[in-house]
Each structure stands twice: as C-alpha cells, then as structure tokens.
Amino acid sequence: MTDTKFENVINFGAGPAKLPLEVLKDVQKELLGYRDTKISILELSHRSNDFNNVINSAQATLRDILNVPENYHILFMQGGGTGIFAAIPLNILKTGTADYIVTGSWSAKAAKEAAKFGKVNMVLPKTSKYTEIPDPSTWKLDPNASYVYYCENETVHGIEFDFIPETNGVPLVADMSSNILSKPFDVSKFAVIFAGAQKNIGPAGVTLVIVRDDMLGYPMDVCPTVLNFTVMANDNSLHNTPPVFQIYVVGLVFEWIKRNGGPEGMQNFAKKKSNKIYDVIDNSGGFYVCPIKRNARSRMNVPFRINDGDEKLEKEFLLGAVARGMLQLKGHRSVGGIRASLYNAITEEEAEALADYMKWFHNEHTNNLENN
C-alpha cells in the first residue's frame, strides 16, 4: 500500500480511531521481524527480555511526557474501559459508597456497573439529555464516598471537562479514554486514571491504568485476578499474557507524541482542529447546530445536526463525505446526526478538509433553497 493511498482517506471515527501514519509505517517495517528477534512482534513472548524492554520503555515515556509521580503505577490491562468500570469499585470501594458525576452515556454505564458492587450516589440529577456540565455549586457530593468518578470526555455526546473537579479530599477517578494525552494535566490530583487505547493512543485491546500506591491492597474478595490492580502492579501487567502487540503500538504512539511537543503540543493542535469545525457550525446561520453548551464542548468529538435534524440531508452529507474519502462521520446510534472525532492523529489539514466540505455543503443547499 502506498503513502498516497493512506493519505487519500481520513478516518474521523470515534474508535478504533486513526493512528499516526508515522507509527503505522514503523509497525509495518517491524511486523515481520521485530528488531533483532527475527520474529514478528505478534509472536514475541511476553516473558522475553525484548518485550520487557517494550513495556518498560512505554511506561518510561508516558511517565516522562505526563510527569507521572513515582508513587503511581502504570498498568496495561485488558477488558477495555468497560472492564475498568467494574475494576474501579472492585478495587477501591472501601466505604461501600461512591460518587458518580454522570454527564453522558459512558459515565452512566460506569455508574450502572458500579451499582453491582455497592451504593452509587448520583451527584447530578438524572437526565436523558446530556448537553452541559452543571455548575459544581449544584453537585451533591457525599463526604463519606470512597471515590468520586467522572468521564473527562464523553465520546457520544461531545462533552468535555475543562477543569478538574474538586472533591474535598475524596479520591478522584477519571475515565480519560477520549482525551488522554491531548492536553497537560496534574496527575497527582487523581487516585486512578484510565483510558481505553483505541480512541487516542493506540489500537483496541489494551487499557491504560494509572493508579496511585495508596489505592492498592484493598480489592474485594470477589475481584477477578485480571482486574486486580494490586496483582497487576506487583507483576508489572505481566500476571497473564498481556496484549503484546497493542502495548508495543501504544509505546510507539507515546514516542510520537513526545516528538511532536508532548501533551502541550497536542493541546495546541486540538484547539486549532476543533476551532475549524466549530467556527463553521457557529457561522452557518443555524444550518449546522451543535447541541452542547459552549463551555462544555469537546475538542475531541464534535457532534452536530444539519438543518434541525433533517435526516435526508444528513444522509446526503455522509455520502458526500465518503465520496471525498472522509470516513466514519456518522453520529452514535443513540443520538444520530454527525460526529467528527478529532483525536491526536488527525492533522490540521484533515480538519481543514472537513471544514471546507461543510462550507461547500452549506452553500450548495442554501443556494438550492433560495432557487426553489
């Protein structure tokens, strides 16, 4: 496959999402023979020194670019974000109660899973329409909660926190699957951070977990070994066969991010890319509408509707996008419409291409309406 063929298609999918072309080329080069092993990375033993170097290098690079303190373990686990929904209460639900800040479908699913293992306090009133992050002054936090849980970026609804919640000393847990490494943040403010790799840092099949030392050692008796943070920390994620290939690729993505300015550089790119799309929406006179309040708009996932949810027009828009090599722009099945995911690997030029198409589509249909 030639570079041109790669560059003629833009993957705006929410996950599995686009990987940096530079990383894909490295993977392609080493796929048949990893370094001096003369076997594929897909065949490499997780007990070998070569893989030990792979996982240690990935952890060291992440610790460097995120400034992860020494009292945190970096784990690579399986089961996706959904598996970690259960792992959180199974490992750290010490008081039997946990606070959940539900701002979209993923945090709602996490709260539902946690309710199997203890009491869940819903910090916000229940709603079926997620369009904002209510002011923290309205939150009902439980001072006796084992932890406070929230989702940094809701992929489906396009809601992103631009602040770290204040918990008054209660351990803070964050699902950062959709925006990990897209901006700098203070890791020391969190007890547990996790991220399914397939959205912003790698291929599906591995989940990054960053856990503080004082959260270890308290798993429930029913906690499965593969979800036990303490076991995985003691064994450096090697208690059982880990997703070797996925960890290898994630490590390459970490190195790519480091070469491109780290989280600070990614934040700069994220602002530029998302602004290109939001500017078209906001200047379309209502032809395009983003349902999310401006102070909660995601830089990673931009949902919008066309002409007040005109499904015929939206279908036409999607077909036209595919014809132009812009793939996976259809909104999540639960909300419909259009969704552009602008993860780290999406370039400014690719975001500009989508913005140009949106402008063209708007002009075409505005002219048609005027002529009719």
Q: Which residues are catalytic?
A: 106, 175, 199
Q: Which residues, at least 6 apart from 203, have a Cβ–Cβ distance to it below 8 Å?
A: 16, 19, 197, 245, 246, 249, 250
**Of residues 181, 186, 183, 215, the one with CA closest to residue 84:** 215
What 3-state DSSP class applies to 317?
A: helix
Q: Are 72 and 190 in contact (CB under 8 A)?
A: no
Please spell the DSSP secondary structure of 95-135, one letter per residue.
SSEEEEE--SHHHHHHHHHHTTTSEEEESS---S-------
**Of residues 187, 243, 233, 189, the one with CA closest to residue 213:** 233
Please spell the DSSP secondary structure of 29-94, one letter per residue.
HHSSS-TTS-S-GGG--TTSHHHHHHHHHHHHHHHHHHT--TTEEEEEESSHHHHHHHHHHHHH--
Q: Are 330 and 322 in contact (CB under 8 A)?
A: no
β-bridge mates for residue 150, sequence order: 101, 174
**CB count, 10 Å around CB of 270?**
23
Peptide bond connecting 16 to the previous residue in cis, omega within 30 degrees of 0: yes
* Measured distance CA(270)–CA(272) in Å, rounded: 6
* Measured distance CA(181)–CA(161) in Å, rounded: 14
β-bridge mates for residue 210, sequence order: 74, 193
Q: What six digits make up the tokens of 312?
A: 């015929």
